[in-house]
Amino acid sequence: MQLRSVAAGEHLVQQGDSNLNLFYVNSGLLRLYYTTPDGKERNKAFYAEGAMLGAVSAAIRQQPASFAIQAIENCQLVQAEFTGLFASAHQHPVTARTLIELLAGAFIRNESREAMLLTLNAEDRYQWLLQKEPHLLERVPQFHLASYIGIDPVSLSRLKRRLQEE
């Protein structure tokens, strides 16, 4: 494991990289995003202090990452090589529990967001964001938030203005 400082805008992982690291966020904010074939970015998730993240499925399958990880703010991270942690989990129960918690947390988080995207209209998706991840509103640019909840930035602006007027 090693400490790592990352400047806002810097990438930890580029889509297509073979990055086998996990990152624990001591401070700062990161985004995970996909780039479509036509060059549009679609935000997958945001991770702040206390979170652990990485291109886990890519590391498990020993394949290139399907998404990128970029710092939105300056970050202080602890970086650990995934395969070493995974191997040590067989002998160290604390490491095993940590990996299980990481994987379970990611699964639960992804399932919740997937349900939001597939079952709610734009206003309800924004309300979901307000309820589930309000800390992002002050730290993430609006165009990234719009992408995260599956609407365009202009629609998000209109929606916010309409809700403020009500």
pLDDT tens by residue, 15-62: 998 878 989 999 999 999 999 999 999 999 999 999 889 888 888 888
Residue type present at position 85 = L
Q: 37 in a domain, yes or no?
A: yes
**pLDDT the model gives residue 144:** 96
Q: 9 in a domain, yes or no?
A: yes
Q: Taking Cα atoms as reference points, which of 85, 67, 82 lies closest to residue 11?
A: 67
CATH of the domain at 76: 2.60.120.10
Q: 69 in a domain, yes or no?
A: yes
How many separate domains does the chain show? 1
Locus of tokens 């690291």: 21
126 within 8 A of 155, measured Cβ to Cβ: no
Alpha-carbon torsion angle 29, 110, 153, 130, nearest 10:
-80
Confidence class for position 83, pLDDT limits 50, 70, 90: confident
Q: Taking Cα atoms as reference points, which of 12, 9, 129, 21 lies closest to residue 74?
A: 9
Q: Angle at CA 37, nearest 5°, toward 34 and 39?
A: 70
Q: 30 in a domain, yes or no?
A: yes
> Cα–Cα distance between 155 and 127 in angstroms, integer?
14
Q: 39 in a domain, yes or no?
A: yes
Q: 38 in a domain, yes or no?
A: yes
Tell me the pairing of strands 21-27 and 11-13. Answer: unpaired
pTM of the model: 0.89
Q: 52 in a domain, yes or no?
A: yes
Locus of tokens 């602006």: 157
Q: 57 in a domain, yes or no?
A: yes
Domain around 55? 2-92
